[in-house]
Amino acid sequence: MVTILKNRNFSQDLLLECTFMCDVFKAMATWWGQLARYGMRSNMMFYDSEFRRGSRNVLSWSKMAWWNNKELGCSVHRCSSFYYVACMYKPGGNNVNQHVYKVGAVCSECGGGQCDGQALCRW
């Protein structure tokens, strides 16, 4: 148990256990980490050759990062000794000869200057 907040009126403790949420975040971090591990062309163009990179592909990352994804749903199922995580994206991406996203200045394509604190456009 770790005390994270304490003053004269109250204290708050958290007990961290690796539950299915740990596995959801681990799965997403693993998928997103493909970009750092295996790289992508600087122009972010998705070519047919991406499907032939074997185990050094970025297919999961590109599905998550695709420029027009607006819906995400994940499911977790407990198996005997692990959790199985599956996520679906809409529309999903990995379209040959299209850009994963348009390379440019941060928030340059946000309508009406709607840019949040994480340098992402607000929809």
Q: How confident is the model at residue 20 (pLDDT cuts 50, 70, 90)?
A: low
CA distance 13 to 72: 32
Residue 117: per-residue pLDDT: 83
**Domain chopping of the chain, boundaries:** 18-113
Q: Which residue has the higher pLDDT, 31 or 79?
A: 31
Residue 123: per-residue pLDDT: 67
Identify which of 35, 28, 108, 111 has the alpha carbon closest to the alpha carbon of residue 72: 28
What backbone phi and psi angles, to 5 degrees, belong to 32? -65, -30
Alpha carbon distance, N-terminus to C-terminus of the chain? 39
For residue 5, the cross-strand partners are: 12
Query: What single-letter amino acid sits at 3?
Result: T
Q: Which residue has the higher pLDDT, 68 or 7?
A: 68
* DSSP H helical ranges for 41-119: 59-65
Other Cβ atoms closer than 10 A to 29: 9
Query: What pLDDT, in 10s, does the model give residues 37-86?
Result: 999 999 999 999 999 999 999 988 998 898 988 887 787 777 777 777 87
Identify which of 83, 77, 87 has the alpha carbon closest to the alpha carbon of residue 17: 83
pTM of the model: 0.71
Query: What single-letter amino acid sits at 4?
Result: I
User: Is CATH 1.10.3720.10 the right assignment for the domain spanning 18-113?
Assistant: no
Rounded to the nearest 10°, the torsion over CA 105, 111, 114, 118 is -40
Identify which of 96, 38, 99 has the alpha carbon closest to the alpha carbon of residue 66: 99
